[in-house]
Structure 1
Amino acid sequence: MLMKVIVISVLLHVVAGFVAGLVTIATHVMKDEASFEEPPAVEEEQPPPDVKVEIKPQAAPSVQPLNNLKMRQVGNISVASVNVDLPGMSDNFTVSAGIGNIAGGGLMRGARGSIGMGMSDVSVFGLKTRAERILFVIDANRRMVTDAKGGLNSYQVIKDEITDMVGNLSAGTLFNVILHDHRRTLMFKPQLVPAGLDIHQELVTWVSKVNSNAANPGLEGVAGARNPQLQTMKDNPLHELLPWSGHSGNVAAFLTQFALEQTADAVFFITGKHRGFGNFWAKPSEKARKEFEEYRATKAYQEQLAKHDLEVVEMRKRIESELAKINADRAKKGMPPRVLAHRDGVHGNARELGLNWKTRHPGGGPREEVLDPVEVRRYFKDLVQVLYEDRAKSPPSLNVVLFLAGDEVFKPEWEKELDQYVRFFNGKDRVIRGADEIKSARSSKDTTNN
């Protein structure tokens, strides 16, 4: 019985040990195997194609100033619309006057002031501007060298003012000088030319020959002086009036158009007469011509004209005698001969010397009609449109230095007309009287450019 109990006990311990072993295996061995279960399948992706990248050694990073930044080419960048106004490829132009001149054109004519190549500060008798293409138009008429204005000495001041200004221009600036005697003109060069030392000296020599002596004032007998032909708006009815009359308004309008046709940025007129768009005369009306023909056919007209014509010979002798006395007295004082404002005009010379006629001229023709300044202004508005605005160019500024005698009459309404003229062309004006004032008005010698 005892043996049976022992056997059963042994069997129970064996079974218990076997069960305990299974539990131990399940707890340790089977658990570790579970950690090596195959994970879910993952779809294999194709690697990207090989890319060759060149890696260059780089310096240690440092903060660079903005002016050392380098530009790299990039694409697909959107920017705001920018208006770039440059001349078309059909236009002749220069990149810089200092580099070369092609047909007298200018790169900056279509975009003046945007880059500033060849720009110069300009000051002429106190009138200042800044420009790349500059034109000086100087009155050389004998009225500019009369005693009342200081004679030849005052005109020398004008020549010095212009030549000094040209000498102080930047090398890339284009310029030209035009002398005129009424509508008769003499150009320094056929077109605008680059400033520089050599051309400056050439200008000094060229201008020194004009109004250098009292015997040959103005452009009288000067080789190369001519009456130019205006090239623009020939079909406009007012166009034919510019060269038709010798009145100061017609001459000023003629020279204005001639200057505008030179395509400068800034124009400086130095003249002895200017009333802006005023004093512009048109041809007599048919009625005025008919009335004059009737008057000229009368006996009274014919008799007065005959007496006057006889007196003309006597008046010429009186003028010569009076002028000889004046010049003899001037010679004793070391002064040059007196220059009269009119060349051969017996009537103008007699009036200037204070000599009176016994019998006045009965009248030389039908009275002309003064054109409304509004009509003249409208003509130049159209002219600027044709020459500049239609070609996407900026019109030039027109400036006027009016040189008068100390006591010369210049009515307030005339001054107003001149002011309106320069405002129309975005310019300035200045009235200078007599020798002392023109000397003190000089400003170009103090104007410098790099």
Structure 2
Amino acid sequence: MAGKTKKKKQFFQKHAKSSAALVSLGIHAVLIVIALSFVAVKVIQKEEQRFEAKPVNRPKMQLKKLQVPVNVKKKKVQKPKLRKRIVVQPKMNQAVPDIKMPEISGVKGGLGNAGGDGLGGAGGLGFSMPEIEVFGVKSKGEKVFIILDSSPWMMYDEMGGIPAYTVIKEELVSILGGLNPTVLFNIAVFDKHQVITRFPALVSASSSNVALVKEWLETLNATPDQSYGLRTLGDGGTRIDDGGTKYAIKPLQRTSDWSTAAMVAMEQQADSVYILTQSWGWQFHEAKDAKEWPQSKKEDYERKKREAHRKLKEDNEARVAKGLPPQVLVGHSVINKYFPGTEHPPQPERYNYSPREMYAGLVEQRKANMPDNALTSGLGRRSNKKEQSSINVIMFTPEDYDTGKDPKKQELFKQLTRYANGSFKTLAGLAAIQDSASAGGD
């Protein structure tokens, strides 16, 4: 044992440096292994860091409504003061060429006008509508249509005779001459079913066109030889003679007198219509035939008729010799003048049209002829009368006419003009016609 130990010591003594190196290497190896193991563990076991936000309780403040004291003071609205305004309608003497206006119905102002829902009307471009006044009856419109009665009843002595009719014609020409040339117009003359218009369509109110009207009307009912009616008109014009059936439209089965001419006005889309007549006329259709009259009564009536016309001719010759116009009488009036109380021949049973039915027919006629580009407005829309077209009536009556004696004659026209947003006026005799004409012309 001692020998082995001795040998070991000798071995270490001989290899002291080598042993120390080996020990050092061994220690380093152990340290390296330990270090590597430590790093590997750290890498594998290292967890990912996470950040979590902790909830923070903040105090909430309750919002309060903003209250601002406001003092509201009612302002006093002053009513507009009315100011008198003078409207001047200058006459244009220079010749103006005829102007074909675009068919725009219902436009207020401008160069065309629009029609509509009822009998036509105004829309609104901002311009004021031209105003026309006929014997004191005012209306506004850019398409004016005047209808004049030429029947002999217009010239009866109690109506003012031929002198009164002459004043009427002259006044109409003067009124047309005072219109702005941009206004469109037409004029029709009627006698029962027959109607003649001066122009086939609406034309501009130029001085040349007004001159044609003056020449056309000059000889109408002006000759002192018992000639009257449409045959006394001057040259020109478009004749409508259909027996009252051409313009028959539901609920009407026929038209007559002024209603035929009014249908033409609706066909031409007029927005301001004036009817100058002495009667409501024959606004009816026959429901049943007349009863038979005994032959003896027929012969007696025909004898009185011949004798009455002979006497009227003699009386008128005497009047003309004195420088007076002849007396105009027609029909049963001639017989009743010289043979008072003569029985009138039996008449067919009639269905008389009401003002509402007449108005409905006129509305339908306008709608049937309304252009596709027309604006809807007019007499059918009664909410704003200032912007509607109108039908106005001037009824000529005898000088001693008692308005309370037969109010129905006036009431028919009054109702029609109310439906049609128009006005109604009566003129009794020559003096009233002259006064109204001078007032309208000033």
TM range (shorter): 0.5 to 0.7
| Residues 278 and 396 in structure 2, CA contact (< 8 A), matched pair in contact too | yes
Specify the alignment match of 1:143 in structure 2. Answer: 153
1 CA distance for matches of 2:371 and 2:419? 15
Query: Is 1:185 aligned to 2:195, yes or no?
Result: yes
From 368, 375, 380, give the equivalent of 2:350.
Answer: 368
Specify the alignment match of 1:445 in structure 2. Answer: 441
The alpha carbon displacement at 1:441 in A equals 0.6
Provide, for residues 326-378 of structure 1, a one-character-per-residue CA deviation record: whole Å limited to 9, x for no partner.
224413431022111x2xx3x34212444444xx466354x223355554444
Say if 1:128 and 1:102 are closer, same or farther in 2 by CA, change over 3 A. closer
Which TM-score applies when normalising by structure 2?
A: 0.63
| Residues 174 and 195 in structure 1, CA contact (< 8 A), matched pair in contact too | yes
From 305, 313, 316, give the equivalent of 1:324.
Answer: 313
The alpha carbon displacement at 1:218 in A equals 1.1
2 CA distance for matches of 1:400 and 1:282? 23
Say if 1:281 and 1:409 are closer, same or farther in 2 by CA, change over 3 A. farther
The alpha carbon displacement at 1:273 in A equals 0.9
**Which structure 1 segments of 5+ residues have no match?**
1-96, 243-249
Query: Is 1:315 aligned to 2:330, yes or no?
Result: no
Structure 2 SS opposite 1:368: strand
From 269, 272, 281, give the equivalent of 2:278.
Answer: 272
**Identical positions, percent:** 22
| Residues 141 and 181 in structure 1, CA contact (< 8 A), matched pair in contact too | yes
Specify the alignment match of 1:68 in structure 2. Answer: none
1 CA distance for matches of 2:190 and 2:354? 26
Specify the alignment match of 1:247 in structure 2. Answer: none
Q: Which has the larger radius of gyration?
A: 2
Instruction: Judge which range, 374-383 or 310-319, deviates more.
Output: 374-383
Say if 1:199 and 1:409 are closer, same or farther in 2 by CA, change over 3 A. same
From 356, 369, 394, give the equivalent of 2:377.
Answer: 394
| Residues 151 and 229 in structure 2, CA contact (< 8 A), matched pair in contact too | yes
Say if 1:378 and 1:178 are closer, same or farther in 2 by CA, change over 3 A. closer
2 CA distance for matches of 1:211 and 1:378? 33
Query: Is 1:339 aligned to 2:328, yes or no?
Result: yes
Instruction: Judge which range, 412-421 or 177-186, deviates more.
Output: 412-421
The alpha carbon displacement at 1:424 in A equals 0.7
Query: What letter corresponds to residue 108 of structure 1 in structure 2?
Result: N
| Residues 134 and 440 in structure 2, CA contact (< 8 A), matched pair in contact too | yes
Specify the alignment match of 2:100 in structure 1. Answer: 101
From 302, 306, 314, give the equivalent of 2:295.
Answer: 306
Structure 2 SS opposite 1:210: coil
**Which structure 2 segments of 5+ residues have no match?**
1-95, 105-110, 116-120, 379-388
2 CA distance for matches of 1:373 and 1:430? 16
Specify the alignment match of 1:198 in structure 2. Answer: 208
1 CA distance for matches of 2:156 and 2:428? 13
| Residues 148 and 434 in structure 1, CA contact (< 8 A), matched pair in contact too | yes
Provide, for residues 231-281 of structure 1, a one-character-per-residue CA deviation record: whole Å limited to 9, x for no partner.
6675x3x34233xxxxxxx53433332221121120111111127xxx743
Query: Is 1:164 aligned to 2:179, yes or no?
Result: no
Structure 2 SS opposite 1:157: helix
Say if 1:233 and 1:434 are closer, same or farther in 2 by CA, change over 3 A. closer
| Residues 281 and 368 in structure 1, CA contact (< 8 A), matched pair in contact too | yes
Say if 1:329 and 1:386 are closer, same or farther in 2 by CA, change over 3 A. same
Query: What letter corresponds to residue 195 of structure 2 in structure 1?
Result: T
Specify the alignment match of 1:208 in structure 2. Answer: 218
Provide, for residues 18-57 of structure 1, a one-character-per-residue CA deviation record: whole Å limited to 9, x for no partner.
xxxxxxxxxxxxxxxxxxxxxxxxxxxxxxxxxxxxxxxx
Instruction: Judge which range, 328-337 or 184-193, deviates more.
Output: 328-337
| Residues 308 and 361 in structure 1, CA contact (< 8 A), matched pair in contact too | no
2 CA distance for matches of 1:280 and 1:383? 16
Structure 1 SS opposite 2:140: strand
From 404, 414, 435, give the equivalent of 2:430.
Answer: 435
2 CA distance for matches of 1:221 and 1:233? 27
Task: Report how many residues are paired.
Answer: 317
Provide, for residues 79-115 of structure 1, a one-character-per-residue CA deviation record: whole Å limited to 9, x for no partner.
xxxxxxxxxxxxxxxxxx9783157766332683623
From 364, 384, 404, give the equivalent of 2:397.
Answer: 404
From 338, 341, 350, give the equivalent of 2:335.
Answer: 350
Say if 1:227 and 1:376 are closer, same or farther in 2 by CA, change over 3 A. same
2 CA distance for matches of 1:115 and 1:429? 29
Quote the RMSD (CA, aligned, Å): 3.2
Say if 1:116 and 1:433 are closer, same or farther in 2 by CA, change over 3 A. farther
2 CA distance for matches of 1:119 and 1:417? 29
2 CA distance for matches of 1:98 and 1:136? 21
Say if 1:141 and 1:116 are closer, same or farther in 2 by CA, change over 3 A. farther
Query: What letter corresponds to residue 418 of structure 2 in structure 1?
Result: R
Query: What letter corresponds to residue 267 of structure 2 in structure 1?
Result: E
Query: What letter corresponds to residue 421 of structure 1 in structure 2?
Result: L
2 CA distance for matches of 1:255 and 1:100? 23
